[in-house]
Structures are given as structure tokens and as C-alpha cells.
Amino acid sequence: MRTAVTEDLARSFGLSGEEYNRVLAIMGRTPTLTELGIFSVMWSEHCSYKSSRVWLKQLPTKAPWVIHGPGENAGVVDIGDGLAAIFKMESHNHPSFIEPYQGAATGVGGILRDVFTMGARPIATLNALRFGRPENPRTKRVVDGVVRGIGGYGNCVGVPTVGGEVNFHASYDGNPLVNAMTVGIARKDRIFLSAAAGIGNPVVYVGSKTGRDGIHGATMASTEFSADSEDKRPTVQVGDPFTEKLLIEACLELMATDAIVGIQDMGAAGLTSSAVEMAGKGGVGIELDLDQVPARETGMTAYEFMLSESQERMLMVLRPDREQMARDIFHKWDLDFAIVGRITDTGRITVRHRGTVEADIPLAPLNDQAPLYTRPTVDTPKQEKLNPARIEDRYGLARALEKLVGCPDLCSRAWVWDQYDSTVGGQTVKRPGAADAAVVKLEGLTRALALTTDCTPRYCMADPEMGGAQAVAEAWRNLTAVGARPLAITDNMNFGNPEKPEIMGQFAAAIRGMVAACETLDFPVVSGNVSLYNETEGRGILPTPAIGGLGVLDDVALAVGLALPPWLDIMLIGNTVGWLGQSLWLREIGGREDGAPPPVDLAVERANGDFVRTHILNRTIRACHDVSDGGILVALAEMAMASGVGARLMTHPPGIPGHAFWFGEDQGRYLVAVADYATFARAAESAGVPAMRLGTSGGQNLTLPDGGSISIAALRNAHGRFFPSWMDNSTQKETP
Amino acid sequence: MKAGIVIFPGINRERDMAIALEASFGTAPRVIWHKDTNVAGLDLVVIPGGFSFGDYLRCGAMAAHSPIMRAVKAHAERGGYVLGVCNGFQILTETGLLPGALLRNASLRFLSMDCHLRVERADTVFTNQYQPGQTFRAVMAHGDGNYFADKDTLDRLEGERLIAFRYTTKAGEVTPEVNLNGSARSIAGIFSPNLRVLGLMPHPEDLVDPLMGGTDGKPLFDALAAA
């Protein structure tokens, strides 16, 4: 029995009436069910970027070191030694809410495939995670599942998870964010692209078999959630990291030969999007015979085959004379290998199943006539600048510090990263928590990559343009703080419903801020992903343009961490006015979430960072930490807790209230430890960079300028308490 | 001594192990595929960490039945050296080359962190470059490292001095707090009765370079290279 294709069915697939009319015009007839499925996923927000494309085009994407910018599976930059770093960040938000373990696991699997599809061996993964309030009973289950899922997949596949971030906020209660970033390394003359070519060449399917899982996942990711979203659990895919590991090894083995013409992983919208993209980019046609597709279950229809999002699958176009060699490699790794079609000169995608043509669509209009919307925008109202002198401090420095380092957004993330294998591969130089960015060495070379993910969503909510700039600047700052030369970013734009003008206004403003920061910092966007409709019951998330930054260290031995060494001078780089608006001190101590966020002066950012990097690389700076959430005193406490070495602080400059100086979140600042403050201060002065001596390291306590003091042990205790007690992980079996 | 590394599908610490072996031995180890059937010409067979066959059955159970393990067993019976780390240790217990089993960590969570191991005897080919009773740092990265054996086996291991390493504090004290995976008697690694087969859960191969945080694991490989 055939399902009748109607406008109502098209609507239930997520197409608007107008979009359905466009399908009818392209086809010149009523589409088949399979054809409607193909149009609906290709034109979904997730695959077509129909609401965001007009804005994304504004991002700077070029630099002399950029080899491939947005448009390929991942971005590619030249890192020297004839090598390229290939990287991207991608969201798996909606699936992770519905089924946290598998949602997060398959998010990791998907981003890994985007990277090794291009010929790179993945060397590191990071995760930017945002969860609802800890008080919400549901949050605990989501955190537990997501962390287990990331570990379950990443640990097994053998790619170290080296960094990322975790935030909490009520706006993520019904819509957590799981953004995974993977970085891989390839020879820069051996990059694999997806464009198909060569009429008659075989189209080869490799990897896992196809099942009914994940059908219409891309469409699900393009709608808001309602209370019954849990019913969508069957649209979440199930991951198999073991097969992924085999797929990585088999693909890299094949990629060392000349067999592959084009290759594309099957991600969102599975076989449909991989086939359409490969043929579309190559300007050719493609013919698929679904009877040849390895199936996990019997009785699957053409519609199900084309829309399945079963994991760990790839589509390749091979040189015909290399077919047998390729088959042998995949069989060696016990993976399915099937010729499922041919490249044609028709410019159409033709899908056959059991002797019937189930779909026959011209590719050019399917791609070119995909909807593109310039949706209306409304600017976010500016917030008032708060005057720190008018904000009273009843807490004192020591008590506030202890509370801040223990709050969910600043407490130790060890509980999370202790569940991720961060060392597999043997190249992890700076593990999670050791430095502002993870540092991963390139095997056999002195070169290393520095990696970070950053975003401060509460700044973005208050001022999306400033928040967008700040996210890019903080990524640049974190790479700089280990001594790396920042090269490029990947962006993961997480926003609410784009059909609401205020949400689209946030998006447009965030892009404006990012454009400015990318330009001033020479820090182009080379890949990215957009996740919209992050709303549940009409409530949107904080705008969250998560930035994944990549930098290079020519000599890994020069990388510095944040652990504070003893008996050094502690210097502050950058200017301080005591900005309390949107600060964590204001939220956690003052109980307010208002005010304009701290401004980012991009020229100053660049000057301060270039100065810091120079003095890391000439070995003047022995430890470095950027000043971000929680301000100077939290940054210093983090340095002290990392090494167990305390510090004695001097009185802050007059004219700024103490709490504003020590906890304000002014941007473009670093704490550095140097042997001789006077020489360093002179160097800063001649570079035109503000530098101020804050104190001296040593001892077991942080001795504060207001007469208070707190021991490193007490800080560590406060810092380490939240996650283990919240997640109830303190039970250990007794030794028999 | 000539070393080789066995690769099962899903093994993922073979590169770490190859780097550590090459740093001490001066030559790259031979790579042995799990479908191979002999290890002739090798003095030391190393089974590295990872998730052989996905660990979808009991950890190491599938690998224990693969063709190469018959050859590894014969090699051990001839008095050859075998080192199994992490999944490699699990495979050795599943093969029966070492007693006991590795259960799910007591916390039921994957553990990825440094730990301290106490050298229980320093008169073996694996440990003679450590001092008896000294501790060294190693990287823990496992979900199933909770060593288990019945009381008689544990007593025998202790009586015959076949315990290689225990989880301790940096100062060498055995405490429940540092026995994170819940192993019986804080056992991190054991020897075969002829002291030529060693299995341990933590990864000495991930600390052989100051850049990665230390060289605490290097004496183990240096000792093998010198044998």
C-alpha cells in the first residue's frame, strides 16, 4: 500500500505550503513518498541553513593559511611541515535531550566522520556542553548520560577528549547543548573532498548496515520541542564506536592509495544528503540501487533507506580499476563494502528499489532552489552600564572567592574529564585543566596544536554583538595563553526559533560581533554548524555561538600552563575598570543577572595577546592564565589550585572598589608569572601594554589585600565539592 | 630483545606503545595482526590497550579466542616474554595466561587520571630498573580495571610474590581512597609464576616523555630493552 503524497503530508515532514509548491514546480508532478522525503530533509533547516545562510556569508573565511573554508565536511588550515589540520564543531542538541547517552555519543561519532572523511587521522576531540539548572531534577540525568555518552564513544574509538566547557543555566533546562569538535591531521597534498566525478564510476557504500534508526532526525532537529518530545526517541540513532574505529582505520588505509575519487560520510539525512551532495558538487548525476544497500533489517522501504540515519556509514566514488583493492581493505577490517550505484551524466538522482524507480529528481533545482529566507530581525535592547561604586559588597573577598570557585559554573570539572580518556595517542601535552587550551603534539614532530572552545552565553543574551565578539576573542586569548599562534575557528551557532524576530536579531548581531573579532584578530571561520529551534514550550536558550579555536605552537617545549610556580612575581596584563555587569560575582554574590556585559576592545585584545605570546615564547612568562569568568581573583585561585602554591597579593589601585577590581570581568586580560616584574613591566610599557604587579607567589595560602586569607586546601575543597556530591559518585567499594 | 605488538580490531593504544618501545629499544616493534598465527623471532609480545572487538562481550573475551592468541600462549609456554596493558591485561586473564578477572570499576564510571603504583618486586626483567617499594606515576584509562580473584588465588599471588604493582599513595601507602577502581588487595598488575608474563591496568607507555608530563614509565621499557 502506498502512502498518498499531499500538502498535509508535506507539512508533517516540515515543508511549508510554499516550499511544497516549489517541489511540485520542480518535479512537474506529485512527488513520490521517497522524493518528498528527500526534498523535506534537504530543505530542512538542519541541511539547508535556510534561515542562517544570508548571515553566515558575512563571516571572514580567508587567510593565507586557509586551505578549505566552509562548504566542505570540515575546515582545513596549513600548519606547516607539509601538514594540514582539519577541524569542525557540530551540535547534537536535540538528540541529546531526548536520549542523552546516544545523542552525545553519536554527536562525537558524527564529528569524527566529518574529519576523517577528508583524509585526516583524528587526534583530539573537545566538547562544549550547556545544561539546565542543577536544581532541575532532570538536569542530573542529562549530565550523566551526556558525559557517559561522550566517554563511551570517544574512549572506545581511541581519540583523546582533551578539553571543552560545561555551563549551567535555566534556559537550557529543556534544551541542553552538546557541541562536539574534532581535529585531525592530514598531509596537505592528500585532502579528500566530496565531489563525485567520472561517469560510470562505482558508488560504494562502506561501514555499518542500514536500519530504521534516525529516520527524519534532521527534520526533528529543525523544530521546537514540546512536552511530548520524548516520544521522538526512535528518531535518535544508536552509536557503535567499535565500527567507527574500524572505519577510520580502513578509510585511512584506502586513502593512502589513489582509489578514491570522492568521499562523504552519511550524517544527517543519511544516504540522501551524501548522494545529493557528492553528485551536486561534482555536477554529475547519481544512480542508486537500494537492493544493494546492506540492510540490518528486512522489509525496509526506499523511503526508509534514503532517510535512515544509521551511524558509521560512508559513501565513496572509486576509480573502477581500484574496486577490488578497496574491497579487500574493507573486508580485512570486517566492514561491509557494497557497490550501490554509478555516477551518471543525467544531472539527476535516480533511486531504484525492487525494480521500481522510487525517486528521480533533478539535482540542480534540488540544491539551487532550496529555500533561503531573510527573516525579520529585531535588535536586542542595550542594557545599562552598571556603576561598580553603587554595588555594595557585604561578603568580603575571601568568602566571595570560596563561594565563587565552588559554584556550578566555576567549580572543578574533574568529575567530567576524569571520565574521558585524554591521553590515548600519547601526544597530549596539556591535559584538561592544565592550561587555558589543550595542547596536543604532532607525533614525531616538535610542532603542536592548541585547542579550545569558548562562549559566554550570558554576555550574548545581554548584548549579542558584544557576546559574539567576546566568544571569538576569548578563544583567541586561550590559545595565546599557552603560547600558540591562533589560526582559525569553527563556529557552532546555537539559537532559538529563527521565525521570531528577536531570535533572528540575536543571530544577526552575534555574527556582526564575530565578523569584527575575526577580522581584527586574523582568525577566520573555516567550518561550522547552525542549530536553531533550541526552544522548549516556546522558551529559547541563551544565544550560544560556541567557538572552537585552533592554534599552532612551532616548538611544543615552549608551551606554558596555568599552574602557578613558587617565588615569582604575578603580573596582570590589560586594563581593569572593575566591570561587574553580567559578571559571575554579580550573579552568585549579588544575586543579579543584569547590566551590559564587559566591552571587548579588539585592537587592545590583539596588542595584549601579541605581547603575552612573545614573552611566553622567549621564556619570560612561566605560567599564564586568561582572566575570564570570576575575574582576577578566581583566575589566580585557579592557578594556585593547579600547583598547590599560594600567593600574597598587594593592595589594588585606588578609585575602584575592591570587589570590582578583584572580581570584575574586564576583557583582554591575562595573569602571568615572571621572575622579575621590573624588567617585564618595562617591556610592557615600551609595547604600550598595561601591566600591573599584583603580588608574589609562594606559601600555602592566598593572602588577600583586605587582610583576609584562604588556604589552597580550603579552595580545593570548595572547588572540588559540587560535581561529586551532586552526582553522588562518592561510593567506592571496599577492598576485600 | 626483539619486540612485537599485537593488533586486534578496536585496539587503540598501539601507537603509544610503539613510541615507548621504540624510545627504549631503538627500533620500531614489529606489528602483528590478530589473524596472524605465529610470533616467531620475537622475544617480547606486547598486547596494548583499547577496546578489542568493542569489548561488547566481556572485555578481552573475543580477542582471547583469536588465532594469534594460540601463538602467544605457546610463546609464553616456551618461556617467552609477554606484556599486556589495560585491554591487554584483560585479554591475558581471559586467555588464562594470568589468573583472575577485571571487573567493572567500583564507581561504575570510566577512570582517566594519573595514579601511583608501588613496585612490589624489582628483581624481574620488567621491573629491575625500579627500586623495590618505590612508587611511580602511570596513566589510568579504563572502565573495567577492578581486579578480582578468589581468596585462594589472591593468597597464592601474595605467597608466591607474583603481585607486580599495587595502587598506593605517592608515599607508597595502600589506602581505599587511592584504590579507585576497587581492585582486590589494591592489585594493579601481576606476574605469571615464571615472572615472564606481566599484565597491568595503568599505562606506563603514556609517561615516557617529559613533554607528556614525566618519564615514570620509561624504566619498565628500558629494563626490557636491556634484557
Cell of A131: 545544561
pLDDT digits (tens, 9 = 90+) for A639-687: 999 999 999 999 999 999 999 999 999 999 999 999 999 999 999 999 9
Record the cell numbers describing residue A132, joined without a space: 539546565
Q: What is the pTM of this model?
A: 0.96
Say what percent of chain B tops pLDDT 70. Answer: 100
- Helical residues (DSSP H) of A448-529, grouped into ranges: 457-462, 464-480, 501-520
Of A423, A729, A731, the CB nearest to B139: A423
For the question of residue B77 being annotated catalytic, the response is no
Secondary structure letter of residue B65 according to DSSP:
G
Nearest to A52 by CA among A507, A707, A626, A574: A507
Spatial CA neighbour of A194 closest among A314, A307, A292, A319: A314
Averaged confidence pLDDT in chain A: 94
Rounded distance, CA A541 to CA A301, Å? 37
Are residues B50 and A158, on separate chains, in Cβ contact within 8 Å? Answer: yes
Share of chain A above pLDDT 70, in %: 96
CATH code for position B145:
3.40.50.880
User: At residue A501, what are phi and psi to the nearest 5 degrees?
Assistant: -60, -35
Residue A458, pLDDT above cutoff 90 = yes
pLDDT in tens, A205-239: 999 999 988 776 656 566 666 655 655 556 678 89
**Hey, what amino acid is at B104?**
R
Residues from chain B that touch A733, judged by Cβ atoms under 8 A, are 106, 146, 182
Candidates A68, A92, A216, A353; catalytic one: A92
Burial of residue A567 (number of CB atoms within 10 Å: 0-12, 13-18, 19+): exposed
Domain A560-723 has CATH 3.40.50.300: no
Per the annotation, does A213 bind a ligand?
A: no
Per-residue pLDDT tens over the stretch A245-297:
999 999 999 999 999 999 999 988 899 999 999 999 999 999 999 999 999 99
User: Which string of DSSP letters, residue by residue, matches A538-592?
Assistant: TEEPPPEEEEEEEEEESSGGG---SPPPSS-EEEEES------TT-HHHHHTS--
Nearest 5°: phi and psi at A243? -65, -40
Q: Is position A468 annotated in a ligand binding site?
A: no
In whole angstroms, what is the distance from residue B203 CA to residue B188 CA? 11
Percent pLDDT > 90 in chain B is 99
Q: Phi, psi (5° rounding) for residue A495?
A: -140, 175
A1-5, A444-448, A537-541: least confidently modelled range:
A1-5
Range A70-73, long-range pairs (CB < 8 A, 24+ positions): A70/A525, A70/A526, A70/A527, A70/A528, A72/A118, A72/A193, A72/A194, A72/A527, A73/A114, A73/A115, A73/A117, A73/A118, A73/A194, A73/A264, A73/A265
Q: Which residue in B107, B141, B184 is closest to A729 by CB distance? A: B107
Q: How far is CA A586 from CA A10, A294, A324, A629, in A?
A: 49, 57, 65, 11
Q: Does A207 touch chain B (CB under 8 A)?
A: no
How many angstroms separate the Cα of A295 from the Cα of each of A4, A110, A211, A304, A320?
A: 25, 20, 6, 11, 24
Mean pLDDT of B197-206: 98
For residue A706, name the pLDDT band (cuts at 50, 70, 90): confident
Alpha helices in chain B (DSSP H): 14-25, 67-77, 87-95, 151-159, 218-226
Grid cell for residue B178: 587511592
- For residues A350-377, average pLDDT: 96
pLDDT at B25: 97
Beta bridge partner(s), residue A131: A168
Residue range A320-333: mean pLDDT, rounded: 96
Euclidean distance between CA atoms A238 and A340, whole angstroms: 23
Domain that holds residue B118: 3-226
| CB-CB under 8 Å, B211 with A441 | yes
* Whole-number average pLDDT of chain B: 97
Please tell me the total count of domains within chain B.
1
CB contact under 8 A, A245 and B110: no
Size of interface A-B (CB pairs under 8 A): 114
Q: What is the mean pLDDT of residues A402-425?
A: 97
What interface predicted TM-score (ipTM) does this complex get?
Answer: 0.96
Q: Name the band, by pLDDT with cuts 50, 70 and 90, for residue A732.
A: very low
For chain B, how many residues are written?
Answer: 227
> pLDDT tens, A516-560?
999 999 999 999 999 999 998 888 999 999 999 999 999 999 999
Please tell me the distance from the alpha carbon of residue A408 to that of residue A387, in angstroms, as a whole number.
26
Residue A731 near chain B (CB below 8 Å): yes
Domain boundaries, chain A: 560-723
Q: Are strands A569-573 and A670-674 parallel, antiparallel or unpaired?
A: antiparallel
For residues A677 and A693, is the Cβ–Cβ distance under 8 A? yes
Confidence label for A734 from pLDDT (cuts 50, 70 and 90): very low
What are the pLDDT digits (tens) for B10-49? 999 999 999 999 999 999 999 999 999 999 999 999 999 9
Q: What percent of chain A has pLDDT over 90?
A: 91
Q: Which residue of A125, A243, A735 to mutate against B (max B Cβ within 10 Å)?
A: A735
| Alpha-carbon distance values, B98 to A347, B81, B83, B84, B221 (Å) | 62, 13, 11, 10, 21
Determine which of B19, B109, B153 to mutate to test the interface with A (most A C-beta atoms within 10 Å): B109
Chain B closest CA to A611's CA: distance in Å? 25
Report, as an integer, the average pLDDT of A41-65.
95
CB contact B9 to A (< 8 Å): yes
Report the distance separating Cα A364 and Cα A276, nearest Å: 10
DSSP state letter for B211: G
Determine contact, residues A435/A425, Cβ cutoff 8 Å: no
Contact criterion met (CB < 8 Å) for A418 and B183: no
User: Who among A334, A420, A735 is closest to B176 (CB)?
Assistant: A735
Residue A733: band (very low, low, confident or very high) from pLDDT cuts 50, 70, 90: very low
Q: Is a pLDDT exceeding 70 seen at residue A371?
A: yes
- pLDDT at residue B54, as a whole number: 95
Question: Cα–Cα distance between A268 and A309 in angstroms, integer?
Answer: 6
Q: What is the mean pLDDT of residues A162-191?
A: 97
Task: Copy the grid coordinates of residue A447.
Answer: 610542532
Quick one: pLDDT band at residue A728, thresholds 50, 70, 90?
confident
Closest residue in B to A424 (Cα) is: B13
